[in-house]
C-alpha cells in the first residue's frame, strides 16, 4: 500500500468532518505536504456539498476512491525513510550577526576614544591649575615688590662700612615678604643667617633662614609669618642652620621702615 492509498478512506471521512483523534492529526500532517491529497480533498468536499442536497447520507461517492488513487499514481513517490530536508540557512542571518559585531566593535572604539579624551582633558585641567597657581605666586611677588603700600627696608651691617645690604619688601595685609641680600660675608660651617621681623610690640619674630651664594647674594620669599604682623623694622643675625626662635647672637644688619 502506497503512502497516499493509506489515507484514501481517512480523506473521505475528513471531508465529511467525521475523522477524529490521532487519525485526524496524522492526515492533517500529510495534507500539509501533499498537493494530490489536497486536490482530492477539495473534490471530496465538492461531492459532499452535492450529497447534502440528496437523501443518500454522509457516505462518500464510489467514484471518490478511484479518482484519488488515479491522482496519487501520477504523483512522484517519496520514501518514508527519507530524511527531511534541512532548511538552508539564510545569509541574512549571517549578515545580521556581522552587523551586530560591527556595531559592538564600533561602540568599543568610541568608548576607548572617549576614555582617552577624558584623560587628556583631565591632564590639561591639572596643567592649567598648576599654571594658574604659578601665575598667582608670581603676581604676588611682583605686587610685593611694586606696591606703593609695601614697606621698603634697607639693612646695612651694624657698626661697619655698609658693604653688605639687605632689602625687605613687606605687605602686611597679605603677610607677604620678599627679602634680597647682597655682599653678604661667607658663613662658618653649620651656620646660617636668620631674618627677624621686629614688631611694634613684643619680641622679634623669626622670618626665615638663608645662606648667600658664592657672590654673597641671597633671596628669601614669603617665609611663614603671623597673620597681619605689624613690623617697625627688620634685622639679621647669624644662627645655627636650623634657625632659632629668638636671636642668640649680635645683630649684623638692621633697618626700619621708610
Shared domain for 102 and 64, answered yes or no, is no
The total of structural domains in the chain comes to 3
Cell, residue 177: 615678604
For residue 89, being part of any structural domain is answered with: no
Domain that holds residue 37: 5-73
CA distance 99 to 93: 10
For residue 90, being part of any structural domain is answered with: no
**pTM of the entire structure?**
0.45
Give 5-12 contacts, CB < 8 A, sequence gap 24+: 5/69, 5/72, 7/37, 8/65, 8/68, 8/69, 9/65, 11/37, 11/40, 11/41, 11/44, 11/68, 12/44, 12/60, 12/64, 12/65
Shared domain for 135 and 158, answered yes or no, is no
For residue 88, being part of any structural domain is answered with: no
Shared domain for 160 and 216, answered yes or no, is yes
Shared domain for 158 and 250, answered yes or no, is yes
pLDDT digits (tens, 9 = 90+) for 116-156: 888 889 999 999 999 999 999 988 898 888 888 888 787 77
Shared domain for 19 and 45, answered yes or no, is yes
pLDDT digits (tens, 9 = 90+) for 33-81: 888 888 887 877 776 655 555 544 455 556 556 665 666 566 555 554 4
pLDDT digits (tens, 9 = 90+) for 175-219: 899 999 999 999 999 999 999 999 999 999 999 999 999 999 999
pLDDT score, position 154: 76
CATH code: domain of residue 187? 2.60.40
Amino acid at each position: 500500500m502506497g503512502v497516499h492509498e493509506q489515507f484514501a478512506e481517512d480523506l473521505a471521512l475528513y471531508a465529511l468532518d467525521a475523522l477524529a483523534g490521532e487519525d485526524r492529526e496524522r492526515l492533517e500532517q500529510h495534507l500539509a505536504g501533499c498537493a494530490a491529497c489536497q486536490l482530492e480533498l477539495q473534490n471530496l468536499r465538492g461531492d459532499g456539498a452535492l450529497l447534502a442536497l440528496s437523501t443518500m447520507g454522509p457516505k462518500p461517492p464510489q467514484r471518490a476512491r478511484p479518482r484519488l488513487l488515479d491522482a496519487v499514481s501520477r504523483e512522484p513517490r517519496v520514501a518514508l525513510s527519507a530524511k527531511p530536508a534541512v532548511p538552508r540557512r539564510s545569509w541574512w542571518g549571517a549578515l545580521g550577526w556581522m552587523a551586530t559585531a560591527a556595531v559592538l566593535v564600533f561602540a568599543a572604539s568610541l568608548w576607548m576614544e572617549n576614555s582617552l579624551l577624558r584623560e587628556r582633558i583631565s591632564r590639561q585641567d591639572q596643567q592649567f591649575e598648576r599654571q594658574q597657581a604659578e601665575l598667582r605666586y608670581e603676581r604676588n611677588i611682583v605686587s610685593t615688590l611694586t606696591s606703593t603700600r609695601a614697606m621698603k627696608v634697607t639693612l646695612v651691617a651694624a657698626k661697619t662700612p655698609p658693604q653688605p645690604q639687605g632689602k625687605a619688601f613687606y605687605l602686611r595685609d597679605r603677610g607677604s615678604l620678599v627679602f634680597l641680600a647682597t655682599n653678604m660675608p661667607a658663613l662658618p660651617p653649620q651656620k646660617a643667617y636668620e631674618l627677624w621681623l621686629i614688631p611694634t610690640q613684643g619680641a622679634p619674630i623669626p622670618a626665615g633662614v638663608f645662606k648667600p651664594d658664592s657672590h654673597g647674594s641671597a633671596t628669601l620669599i614669603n617665609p611663614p609669618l603671623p597673620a597681619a604682623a605689624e613690623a617697625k623694622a627688620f634685622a639679621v643675625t647669624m644662627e645655627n642652620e636650623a634657625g632659632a626662635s629668638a636671636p642668640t647672637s649680635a645683630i649684623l644688619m638692621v633697618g626700619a621702615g621708610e
